[in-house]
């Protein structure tokens, strides 16, 4: 069947849409990526999402929920038009939505999460059945609700005779450790910490809004790492949590940047460059620390970087330095754009929902057991969940 996967990540850069053709069962699935596109958010749309994330009113959240559904519908129809595929040929859309807030569980209470992007609006605009709201079932079962891509990663990217670590660098960073294809070893997956979120926020302030990100890591490359600040950032209690664990902008976002900027001695170009250099080292060090503690002991033949951070050469170089002799590969090893991985994963998760297959990975999220993920919304012609 043909399935569309949609992803709007915590970096707030745009909507990734992937069209997959999938056959078989989770045990013997065959797949191909038919089309992929990434639609950057216009300034006003990005500003609306950012306002919601940083303290939106109930009215704003209500409005954004519907508008995201419309934007997801637009992205889907453009993707299908470019691919020459009629909507009637598509069995399903898997939509992650946009995460507005995420509260991991702790010893006292279970966690909760909020993704916006109205599935009914998406189904109405496209006429295609939709599976959305993937995280909440895992959290209801006591899990972190993240990461959810390991089930799909194993189907899409496990390689014969090779142990891979897939390191996504979106707004946040997360890793999936994959045993060799056919191995019965359990997966390992968890959030490593910050990804691009802090870098993007700092670059935007450093350039007074002229840049949304540190393009190619140029600002960071011109600065000097502040070792004292780096050690202080790495002292956050999150980094001592054992997997399963998850995090978000609530911890590594605008609140942290506000505090760092308030303590700047001055706001010269050199000071901003040093801050970007330190934050880039922070993302790389958090990844390296996580690998040394929990990933490398399992054995790693290669690390593959995905997400927007994979296109930042300064960050990639810092990650390679942290990982030493372990080869760090680019997206070509996966056979798709580094931005396509998560969108493709939610196509697979929607497909699993339709099959009635449990797609959560308890060893990654800490849930009480595997669960069928997502909620089903029929398209205009109806459908069978």
pLDDT above 90 (res 238): yes
**What is d(CA 223, CA 207) in angstroms, rounded to the nearest whole number?**
15
Q: How many other CB atoms sit within 10 Å of the CB of residue 8?
A: 28
Mean pLDDT along residues 148-159: 92
Question: Which of 271, 290, 179 lies closest to 226 in space, CA to CA?
Answer: 271
250-255 contact pairs (CB < 8 A, 24+): 250/101, 250/102, 250/103, 252/172, 252/193, 252/194, 252/197, 252/198, 253/53, 253/197, 253/198, 253/201, 254/54, 254/201
CB 193 within 8 A of CB 238: yes
pLDDT above 90 (res 255): yes
Instruction: Please state the φ and ψ torsions of residue 379, each to the nearest 5 degrees.
Output: -75, -175
**What is d(CA 319, CA 303) in angstroms, rounded to the nearest whole number?**
10
pLDDT above 80 (res 338): no
Cα 185 vs. chain centroid, distance in angstroms?
Answer: 24
**What is d(CA 301, CA 306) in angstroms, rounded to the nearest whole number?**
17
- Structure confidence at residue 48 (pLDDT): 95
Model pLDDT for residues 281-336, shown as the tens digit of each residue? 999 999 999 999 999 999 999 999 988 899 999 999 999 999 999 999 876 788 88
CB 76 within 8 A of CB 126: yes
**What is d(CA 242, CA 205) in angstroms, rounded to the nearest whole number?**
33
Domains and CATH numbers, the chain: 2-145+339-377 (3.30.420.40), 158-333 (3.30.420.40)
Question: What's the DSSP call for residue 291?
Answer: I
Mean pLDDT along residues 102-122: 92
**What is d(CA 353, CA 371) in angstroms, rounded to the nearest whole number?**
10
User: Which two three-digit tokens encode residue 353?
Assistant: 């929902």
Partnered with residue 52 across adjacent β-strands are none
For 231-259, letters b (16+ CB in 10 Å) and e give eebeebebbeeebbbbbbbebbbbebbee
CB 34 within 8 A of CB 2: yes
Helices (H) and strands (E) in the chain, counts: 13, 12
- Structure confidence at residue 384 (pLDDT): 53
Model pLDDT for residues 266-283, shown as the tens digit of each residue? 888 889 999 999 999 999
- Structure confidence at residue 197 (pLDDT): 94
pLDDT above 90 (res 355): yes
Question: What does pLDDT average to over the chain?
Answer: 93
Alpha-carbon distances of 180 from 12, 168, 377, rounded to whole Å: 33, 19, 36
Question: What's the DSSP call for residue 295?
Answer: I
Top mean pLDDT of 54-58, 118-122, 360-364 is at: 118-122
Count CA within 13 A, CB hemisphere, residue 121: 18
- Structure confidence at residue 108 (pLDDT): 83
Mean pLDDT along residues 1-19: 93
Question: Which of 100, 178, 110 lies closest to 345 in space, CA to CA?
Answer: 178
- Structure confidence at residue 385 (pLDDT): 54
- Structure confidence at residue 381 (pLDDT): 66
Residue 145: which H helix or E strand, with range?
none
pTM of the model: 0.87
pLDDT above 70 (res 139): yes
């Amino acid at each position: 069947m043909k399935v569309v996967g949609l992803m709007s990540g915590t970096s707030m850069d745009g909507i990734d849409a992937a069209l997959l053709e999938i056959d078989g069962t989770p045990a013997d699935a065959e797949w191909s990526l038919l089309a992929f596109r990434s639609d950057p958010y216009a300034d006003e749309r990005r500003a609306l999402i950012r306002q919601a994330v940083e303290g939106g009113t109930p009215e704003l959240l209500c409005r954004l929920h519907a508008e995201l559904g419309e934007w997801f519908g637009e992205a889907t129809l453009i993707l299908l038009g470019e691919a020459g595929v009629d909507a009637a040929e598509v069995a399903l859309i898997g939509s992650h939505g946009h995460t507005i807030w995420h509260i991991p569980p702790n010893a006292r209470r279970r966690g909760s999460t909020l993704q916006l992007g109205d599935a009914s609006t998406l189904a109405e605009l496209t006429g295609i059945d939709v599976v959305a709201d993937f995280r909440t079932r895992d959290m209801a079962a006591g899990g972190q609700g993240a990461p959810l891509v390991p089930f799909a990663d194993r189907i899409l990217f496990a390689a014969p005779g090779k142990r891979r670590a897939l390191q996504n660098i979106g707004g946040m960073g997360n890793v999936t450790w994959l045993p060799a294809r056919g191995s019965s070893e359990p997966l390992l997956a968890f959030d490593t910490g910050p990804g691009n979120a802090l870098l993007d926020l700092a670059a935007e302030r450093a350039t007074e809004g002229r840049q949304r990100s540190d393009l190619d890591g140029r600002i960071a490359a011109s600065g000097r790492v502040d070792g004292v600040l780096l050690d202080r950032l790495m002292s956050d209690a999150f980094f001592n949590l054992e997997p399963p664990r998850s995090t978000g902008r609530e911890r590594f976002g605008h609140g942290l940047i506000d505090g760092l900027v308030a303590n700047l001695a001055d706001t010269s170009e050199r000071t901003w460059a040093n801050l970007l250099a330190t934050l880039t080292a922070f993302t790389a060090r958090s990844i390296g620390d996580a690998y040394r503690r929990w990933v490398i002991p399992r054995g790693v033949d290669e690390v593959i970087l995905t997400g927007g951070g994979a296109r930042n050469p300064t960050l990639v170089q810092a990650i390679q330095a942290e990982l030493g002799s372990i080869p760090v590969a680019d997206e070509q090893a996966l056979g798709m754009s580094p931005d396509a991985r998560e969108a493709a994963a939610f196509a697979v998760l929607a497909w699993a929902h339709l099959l009635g297959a449990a797609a959560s990975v308890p060893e990654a999220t800490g849930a009480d057991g595997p669960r069928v993920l997502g909620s089903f919304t029929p398209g205009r012609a109806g459908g069978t969940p």
